[in-house]
Amino acid sequence: MTSDTRLLPHSRNGWLMLTAGAVALAIAPQFLPLYYVELGTSALIAAMLALSMQVLVGATGLVSLGHGAFYGLAAYTVYLVSPESAAQPMWLTLPLAMAVAGLAAFLVGLLSIRTSGFFFLMVTLAFGQMIFFIFHDTKLGGGTDGAYLGKPLISAFGATFDLPRRQRPLGIYYVALIQLMLMYAGLALLLKTLFGRALEGIKVNEHRMRAIGYDTYTIKLIAFTLAGSLAGAAGHMWALHRGFVNPEIVGWHQSAEALLMILLGGLGSLHGPILGALALTGLGEATQVLTEVSKAPYVPEKIAALLRLLGERKLLVEGLVILAVVIMLPRGLAGIGSKRLDKSGGGHA
Amino acid sequence: MSLPSFLAQSLNGLQYGLLLFLISSGLTLIFGVLGVINLAHGSLYMVGAYVAFVVARATGSLWLALPVAVLSGIVLGSLLERFLFRFFYKREHLDQVLLTFALILLFEEGRSLSVGNDFYSVPIPQALNFSIPIVEGFSYAAYRFVVIGVCLALAAALFLWIERSKMGAIIRAAAEKPEMVDALGIDPRRVHLTVFAVGTALALTAGALNAPLSSVYPNMGDNLLIISFVVVVIGGLGSVTGAFWSALLIGMIDTMGKAYAPAVAGLAIYVLMAGVLLWRPSGLFGQRA
Amino acid sequence: MHDPAAARTPVLETRDLSKNFGGLRATRNVSLSLHRNELHAIIGPNGAGKSTLVNLLAGEFRPSAGTILLEGRDVTGLTNWRRTRAGIARSFQRTNIFLPLSARENVRLAAQAKTGTLASLRGRAAGAVSLVAAADQAIERAGLTGSRDRIAGELSHGEQRQLEIAMTLATEPGVLLLDEPLAGMGQEEGERIAALLKDLSRDHAVLLIEHDMDFVFKVADIMTVLVEGAVLATGTPQDVRRNAAVQAAYLGGHA
Amino acid sequence: MTKSNGASRRIILKGGAALAAASTVPTGWAIAQSKPLKVGLMLPYSGTFAQLGENITHAVEMYLAEKGGKLGGRDVQFIKLDDESKPDLGPQNAERLVKRDAVDVLIGTVHSGVQMGIHKVVKESGTLTIMPNAGNVALTRDLCAKNVFRTSFSNWQPAYAMGVHLAKKGVKKASWITWDYAAGTESGQGFKEGLEANGGQFVSLLTLKFPETNFQPLLAQIQGLGVDAIGAFFAGGGAVQFVKDYAAAGIKVPLCGSGFLTEGTLGGQGAAADGIETALHYGDGLENAKNTAFRAAFKAKAGREADVYAVQGYDAAQLLAAGLEAVKGNLEDEKTLYKAMESAKIDSPRGSISMSPSHNVVQDIYLRKVTAGQNKVMSTIVTQLADPGTGCKI
């Protein structure tokens, strides 16, 4: 049978690896210092954003540079309803943030989905920048320096989940992890529906999809809206994690970074963006490790100097790694280890 | 709004628009003929400005800096095409995006390692270091007129080349139908190399020319990259004529916006772009969507 | 041969259909009628506007003037995907399929189109047995059963053309618009397609565009000759063959 | 033209004294005493503000050396982190110091957006923090915190003084021109208040997007405003460009501004800056013994002239020392620590300074005039000017 989407693992082993990865993420905080737990939360949030973008890029073939705006908009929504002095419960802020982001995505989508390819990229960029300017240039969201908000309370069904101060980052980590897993599971189910197949058809050959009778505009609009509201969940999580909003999180750089994570992780799988997000976050940390290593007594001076240089030059390392990936791994990090497939990718038949 | 001040603003808009044209014409050519979305184009502009700075600091002459920047552009463009981009034409657009993103980081780090992170001003040549009063209470630096003149001359040369030469004919055809390059009996590799080198040289020239006006500083190409893409999209991908008019339009709107409606100036060009694309999805002079 | 009875309501009808591209008049006042159980071929020299006509009928282009009626209903304003859902399916002159998917998946996607966007969110792809059955039926009819699990991009050119037809069939159309289904095919494959077309025309109204005159005269029930976007003549192959204007303008050697 | 000092860009650990290997097993407070005090320096060491970060670092290290490498009786270990002036990374970088490296004190930073991120983190963690530059007014107004102090300025302060000076000089109408970001608009607000409080009229706020340097559209409007003076807030390269473009545009309205307009930029501005009046808490030719010694020592250490940023960094270290000495290095005694810092009278190279109730520096603001490539101090506009600190509850 050929009814399974190629974005999901094709074999039992694939699913096993994925489960193992999830378990590793679940138990890792037990062994890590608090700072790394918080760094992990940042990585998970980045993964949520990248995963939501994969609905567009990997599943539908739509590349948007406005996606980050929905993420930032959701964080600002939390700021507007949950001021520092009066934190609101998460069961209220999360659906609200997702709804606002989804609504914004719907409106942007209504107009921009008429265009395609590079033009779509630019129109979404334009709309994203309009949202950016709302928060950067008006007083609505605290202006250029950003503003603080009350971190939404982790609560559901009347019970508030609270931990002692030192433990709180742990709780937030798990909230992010659970959301990421739910998002993955939900999208996996979606891709297994007929709708998921239609998305794939659009990605492969949209023109033909219209010719065989698909309303591709509506299908893409649904995907765009859904992706926007999922980005909203990620933005909400950023607000919950940081308690701080800044116009930078609305800017197009967020979209570019999420796209980078997808490309690094691999376009061809749903878990690729998660790998990409973890890798890119880890890379920033790894350069610091290089500096530490350079100080070890047994490292020859020349190598130490090189390590110091790389350790100080986070962007240089990032650039070189990306260059290496794009030249050597055309299918992204998720392509490592899987059998080399021909271009048509028919390994699952 | 008074008439003299409006005239002064128009001159500002013209100068800014012409600068945008130099940058975006290279971008649109490279996209039109090679199909490459070059995110590193803003970095090339930055390289040009720093080349001007370094040469002017070493020799004290900006006049020497300009030709050096042009030559560096041709050499740099050829090297990039020959050893990197050539292998990416058949790859997906997104791989090119990733590649050029990596190049941005590498260019910036290279700049940081070799010249440092400080803001440097580049002196205007002594002979031109005076101002010409144009309206009551507002003068215009003579060098700005030079920039306008050089930009116009380069634009004219570019048009002649594209309209009159055989290579130009291929470029025009390729901008409409990329397959055409293979069919016209010129080694496509030569076409690609030439277009990439010319596009790169234009970006470096723009950077060098504008360096005394903008000064040089880290990430100086970032803002211009985005706005140049806006120019390219409004003008229509691959159309040099489109890039010209759209650059002037954006230059004017941006300048007038800053002068008369600062609250919405940042938004104006994006609203314009969204509007144009919804009205004419392939841009004002675009041939293909 | 068969007489195009004026009394029957046409399945698809155009009235004074015109299309201008800038100053170029690609289609001029074309009035046509397509009937069930009839294979209607459009012939004409290169640039006569045959493909433009198909694109107009399929909803790819909007006509500059004129109307298109499907079963008597005005469909002129419908976009391409709505026309397909209404029952007009088309194949493409240049093979236009989902290259990385299997042949079966290609056709299944076509069969799924009618499900509707919202309903598709509820249906699990793996459980859509009826769609697979519909797809297999179309594949069978197009004579592609033996290759149905192969990747479309790896099929031979002829098989890809058959796949094109299978996909159009899977949308369960009343009208088939086939734009040069033989393009690039060998003699033997041509024979197979001829038989297929004959078979299809038993329960569809078929509009065929084809360059190969021998083939057209063999399979067509009705022919329309287009020259410079306008209808020069319409009638049975015999009528057309005898038509003096057609001979002068186009057929020459076939007389 | 400014000059960079490439070698000092390294982000390396430089302890005041080597970490003594623990030979005995001390207990309780003694452990805290024997361990070095970890001071996190979260500053820009790359990008546009790199030199500011370096100068602040030099000055802090210099003060420590003067004190024999110890503050409040404890050795000091510096942990440096390049914040890249990226606001979206602000919270994470601050956490890196506070949580991973467990610093006792955080000194940082330059960029006000990044400062917002630091502030969020240290407000929650309670880490003692001293701001050596960022001037966003909110941090010592409604967002103030008991563990956060500022030894630099609030954006409001110098611009307010400039407004006062213009109005007293008889200027009737003036406008303010700046980048549209917090530092710009807050200084504009200060200018307006200073001007209006003394009978002047504030005409308009002209802005352009940060950090754009295409000033032409703004300059072409000035003649039409009908003002007697233009005040400006720009800093670094933008300031160089603005002053040069202003001169080239031949505008007759005199230009003045917050002191950053001509701070560290005169080399690039050249003759275009001649005669510009600015207001700041520091300047050239400020004659007091402390300043003379400070400048000589700084030049010896950093190989270049001291500037206002160095002074701010130096005073951050002085303020920290005042607190630590009061508690003998025991940071756990917060009450005494903060009390000592709040009431400290510090002899700064800029003159004497103290802390306002909202933990912002109280200082003299000087009128300076660009003369022969120097920001020559002319007079004191306002003595011991304190930011209003509106809305602060500590």
CA neighbor of D152 nearest in space, from D331, D320, D309: D309
Per the CB < 8 A criterion, the answer to whether C220 and C237 are in contact is yes
CATH number of domain containing C67: 3.40.50.300
Q: What is the pLDDT of residue A308?
A: 78
A304: confidence class by pLDDT, cuts 50, 70, 90:
confident
Q: What is the pLDDT of residue A349?
A: 28
Q: Could you tell me if D271 and D300 lie in one domain? A: no
Question: What is the average pLDDT across B281-286?
Answer: 81
Does D393 map to a domain? Answer: no
How does strand B131-135 pair with strand D346-348?
unpaired
This complex has an ipTM of: 0.82
A115 interfaces chain B, CB cutoff of 8 Å: yes
B184: confidence class by pLDDT, cuts 50, 70, 90:
low
How far is the alpha carbon of B3 from chain D, nearest alpha carbon, in Å? Answer: 11
Question: What is the average pLDDT across B161-171?
Answer: 86
Does D14 map to a domain? Answer: yes
Does C1 map to a domain? Answer: no
Residue D22 domain boundaries: 6-153+287-355
CATH number of domain containing D184: 3.40.50.2300
Q: Which residue has the higher pLDDT, B250 or C25?
A: B250
Q: What is the mean pLDDT of chain A?
A: 87
The 8-class DSSP code of residue D215 comes to: -
Q: Which residue has the higher pLDDT, D183 or B45?
A: B45
Rounded Cα gap, residues B125 and A164, in angstroms: 66
Which of B120, B258, B260 to substitute to test the interface with D, most D CBs within 10 Å?
Answer: B258
Q: Could you tell me if D124 and D26 lie in one domain? A: yes
Q: What is the pLDDT of residue C252?
A: 57
Q: Where are the domains of chain A?
A: 24-250
Q: What is the pLDDT of residue D19?
A: 37
Q: What is the pLDDT of residue B180?
A: 61
Q: Could you tell me if D105 and D254 lie in one domain? A: no
Q: Could you tell me if D181 and D328 lie in one domain? A: no
Q: What is the pLDDT of residue B132?
A: 87
Does C49 map to a domain? Answer: yes
- Closest chain A CA to residue C105: A2
A249 interfaces chain D, CB cutoff of 8 Å: yes
D175 interfaces chain B, CB cutoff of 8 Å: no
Q: CA C179 → CA A32, C52, C95, distances in Å?
A: 65, 10, 10
D30: confidence class by pLDDT, cuts 50, 70, 90:
low
Would the pLDDT of C2 be above 70?
no
Would the pLDDT of D14 be above 90?
no
Q: Could you tell me if C81 and C113 lie in one domain? A: no
Write the pLDDT tens digit of every residue in B193-212. Answer: 999 999 999 999 999 999 98
Would the pLDDT of C116 be above 60?
yes
Query: Inter-chain contact A211–C90, Cβ cutoff 8 Å?
Result: yes
Q: Could you tell me if D190 and D261 lie in one domain? A: yes
Query: Inter-chain contact D100–A36, Cβ cutoff 8 Å?
Result: yes
Would the pLDDT of D6 be above 70?
no
Q: Could you tell me if D139 and D178 lie in one domain? A: no
How far is the alpha carbon of B118 from chain A, nearest alpha carbon, in Å? Answer: 16
Check residue D72 and give left, alpha or beta (phi > 0: left; psi -120 to 50: alpha). Answer: left
Would the pLDDT of B22 be above 50?
yes
Which range has the worst mean pLDDT, B125-139, D120-134, D176-190? Answer: B125-139
Q: C196: which 2 tokens?
A: 């297929």
Q: Could you tell me if D380 and D247 lie in one domain? A: yes
Does C45 map to a domain? Answer: yes
C16: confidence class by pLDDT, cuts 50, 70, 90:
very high
Query: Inter-chain contact C109–A197, Cβ cutoff 8 Å?
Result: yes
Residue C33 domain boundaries: 6-87+173-255
How does strand C12-21 pair with strand C65-70?
antiparallel
Q: Could you tell me if D379 and D234 lie in one domain? A: yes
Question: What is the average pLDDT across D125-129?
Answer: 95
Helix/strand/coil (H/E/C) assignment for every residue in chain B: CCHHHHHHHHHHHHHHHHHHHHHHHHHHHHHHHHCCCCCCHHHHHHHHHHHHHHHHHHHCCHHHHHHHHHHHHHHHHHHHHHHCHHHHCCCCHHHHHHHHHHHHHHHHHHHHHHCCCCCECCCCCHHHCCEEEEECCEEEEHHHHHHHHHHHHHHHHHHHHHHHCHHHHHHHHHHHCCCHHHHCCCCHHHHHHHHHHHHHHHHHHHHHHHHHHHCECCCCHHHHHHHHHHHHHHHCCCCHHHHHHHHHHHHHHHHHHHHHCHHHHHHHHHHHHHHHHHHCCCCCCCCCC
Q: Could you tell me if D14 and D116 lie in one domain? A: yes
In sequence order, which residues have a C-beta less than 8 Å from that of residue C153 and are 6 or more positions away? A343, A344, C99, C100
Query: Inter-chain contact A322–B273, Cβ cutoff 8 Å?
Result: no
Write the pLDDT tens digit of every residue in D243-278. Answer: 999 999 999 999 999 999 998 888 888 889 999 999
Does D1 map to a domain? Answer: no
Q: Which residue has the higher pLDDT, D17 or A264?
A: A264
Considering only CB atoms, D250 lies closest to which of B120, B138, B214, namely B138
Percent of chain A with pLDDT over 70: 93
Q: What is the pLDDT of residue B289?
A: 42
Residues 58-87 of A with CB under 8 A from D: none
Q: Could you tell me which chains touch chain D, where touching means 3 or more CB pairs under 8 A?
A: A, B
Rounded Cα gap, residues A329 and A332, in angstroms: 5
Q: Could you tell me if C163 and C177 lie in one domain? A: no
Q: Which residue has the higher pLDDT, D385 or B115?
A: D385
C102: confidence class by pLDDT, cuts 50, 70, 90:
very high
Per the CB < 8 A criterion, the answer to whether A4 and A10 are in contact is yes
Q: Which residue has the higher pLDDT, B124 or D167?
A: D167
Does C35 map to a domain? Answer: yes
Rounded Cα gap, residues A255 and C177, in angstroms: 43
Rounded Cα gap, residues A112 and D109, in angstroms: 41
Would the pLDDT of C162 be above 70?
yes
**Total domain count for chain D?**
2
Question: What is the average pLDDT across A5-30?
Answer: 90
Q: Which residue has the higher pLDDT, A267 or A176?
A: A176
C244: confidence class by pLDDT, cuts 50, 70, 90:
confident
C176: β partners: C89, C206
Would the pLDDT of D132 be above 90?
yes
D10: confidence class by pLDDT, cuts 50, 70, 90:
very low
Considering only CB atoms, D120 lies closest to which of A33, A244, A295, namely A244
Q: Where are the alpha helices (DSSP H) in chain C?
A: 50-58, 80-86, 103-112, 117-122, 129-141, 157-170, 187-200, 213-219, 237-242, 244-246
Decide: helix, strand or coil at residue D368.
Answer: strand
Q: What is the pLDDT of residue B275?
A: 87
Q: What is the mean pLDDT of chain B?
A: 87
Q: Could you tell me if C50 and C167 lie in one domain? A: no
Q: Among C128, C150, C172, where does a domain finish?
A: C172
Does D394 map to a domain? Answer: no
Write the pLDDT tens digit of every residue in D144-178. Answer: 999 999 999 999 999 999 999 999 999 999 999 99
Q: CA B18 → CA B197, D206, D316, distances in Å?
A: 20, 25, 48
Q: Could you tell me if C146 and C207 lie in one domain? A: no
- Closest chain A CA to residue B230: A122
Q: What is the pLDDT of residue B245?
A: 96
Question: What is the average pLDDT across A265-271?
Answer: 89
Q: Which residue has the higher pLDDT, C24 or C221?
A: C221
Q: Could you tell me if C27 and C126 lie in one domain? A: no
Q: Could you tell me if D274 and D298 lie in one domain? A: no
Q: What angle do CA A205, A207, A212 make, to 5 degrees?
A: 95
Q: Could you tell me if C68 and C192 lie in one domain? A: yes
B160: confidence class by pLDDT, cuts 50, 70, 90:
very high
Which range has the worst mean pLDDT, A114-118, A233-237, D175-179, D360-364? Answer: A114-118
D115: β partners: none
D271 interfaces chain B, CB cutoff of 8 Å: no
Does C20 map to a domain? Answer: yes
Would the pLDDT of D23 be above 90?
no
Query: Inter-chain contact D224–B16, Cβ cutoff 8 Å?
Result: no
Query: Inter-chain contact D217–B259, Cβ cutoff 8 Å?
Result: yes
Q: Could you tell me if C114 and C166 lie in one domain? A: yes
Q: Could you tell me if C112 and C238 lie in one domain? A: no
Q: Which residue has the higher pLDDT, A343 or D342?
A: D342
Write the pLDDT tens digit of every residue in B68-108. Answer: 999 999 999 999 999 999 988 888 778 888 899 899 989 98
Does D391 map to a domain? Answer: no
Q: Could you tell me which chains touch chain A, where touching means 3 or more CB pairs under 8 A?
A: B, C, D
Q: Could you tell me if D103 and D174 lie in one domain? A: no
Does C75 map to a domain? Answer: yes
Question: What is the average pLDDT across D270-298?
Answer: 93
Does C92 map to a domain? Answer: no
Residue A329: its chain B contacts at CB < 8 A? none
Q: Which residue has the higher pLDDT, B126 or A223?
A: A223
Which range has the worst mean pLDDT, B110-124, C59-73, D70-84? Answer: B110-124
Q: Among C172, C197, C222, where does a domain finish?
A: C172
Q: Among C154, C172, C190, where does a domain finish?
A: C172
Query: Inter-chain contact D91–A146, Cβ cutoff 8 Å?
Result: no
Check residue A243 and give left, alpha or beta (phi > 0: left; psi -120 to 50: alpha). Answer: left
Q: Could you tell me if C151 and C34 lie in one domain? A: no
Please give the interface size between A and C, counted as residue pairs whose CB atoms are below 8 Å apart.
Answer: 127
Whether the ω angle into residue D336 lies within 30 degrees of 0, i.e. cis, is: no
Query: Inter-chain contact B98–A322, Cβ cutoff 8 Å?
Result: yes
- Closest chain C CA to residue A345: C100
Q: B155: which 2 tokens?
A: 């634009």
Q: What is the pLDDT of residue B284?
A: 86
